[in-house]
Amino acid sequence: MPSTTNNTSPALKISQAFEQAKREGRGALMPYFMCGFPSASQSVELALAAIEGGADIIELGMPFSDPLADGATIQHAGQVALERGMTMRGCMEVARQVSARSDAPLILMGYYNPVLAFGIEPFCQFAAASGVCGLIVPDLPPEEADPLQQAAQDNGLSLIYLVPPTTPGARIARIVQMATSQRGSFIYCVSLSGVTGERAELPPHLHDFIQRVYGYTKGHGLPLAVGFGLSTPAHIAEVTSYADGAVVGSALVRLIEQNPPEKQVEAIKAYIQGLRAGRREI
């Protein structure tokens, strides 16, 4: 059964993962997998392979027909998942199976329309019962997030907010306030304005942007993770030298597509191990 059956808030597992990584002198590694890509059963095995390879936190994508923040690679994975029958309940089942075989914290990442259609309270209840610890909803503005954040908190989950480089200071301050009012949260710093996808080089402004956000989180103990465009050990090493965590997504989709099904699990495990090795050389 998922570990959410005990009395500990599931969201606290997210904080504990960041704290464990910090004790080991590194940033948390957070790979993203699309539920149902390339199949429901394989997405479970790939997430578990990443955990075995050294991932600290797993993001599980919920496919949606109009994914505004996703680049072409993630959009393709989501389309494949939808064509092969993945649903919101199917995503919960993927999470349940992963959580039944691992203690790594799981974060569901998806868009607000399907959550509303499912029902905010039932969605959070179902997520918690399936072993989920947190939620990321890229198209949900913080000004409209109170109902979901309250339902998430009532069910022991954390709602995690995205902060792109163009975010005004007053908005960052508000997001930090909302994040610190709940357990197990962190700030997801978007490395660049635009959609997800691999990039050869990290944006030159990234370090300054992260330091700017730290100016607002200082004293709150709120971790910062960086996502969008990260794909190489060098990227992970650089980002985790000044942030608390790094997210990798599109590169994993590409790697899955480059390998036949019987080799995908080992390929993902080896890739994650390589990212960990890279970041330890900071």
74/80 Cα distance (integer angstroms)? 10
How many angstroms separate the Cα of 216 from the Cα of each of 40, 175, 204, 220, 245? 40, 10, 21, 9, 17
How many angstroms separate the Cα of 112 from the Cα of each of 23, 116, 251? 35, 6, 25
Active-site residue (options: 56, 59, 238, 244): 59
Total residues found in the chain within this entry: 282
Cis peptide before 122 (omega within 30 of 0): no
Active-site residue (options: 70, 198, 238, 244): 70
Catalytic status, residue 45: no
> E-assigned strands of 94-170?
106-109, 134-136, 158-163
Largest CA distance in the chain: 50
Cis peptide before 38 (omega within 30 of 0): yes
Catalytic status, residue 66: no
Would you please indicate which residues are annotated as catalytic (active-site) residues? 59, 70
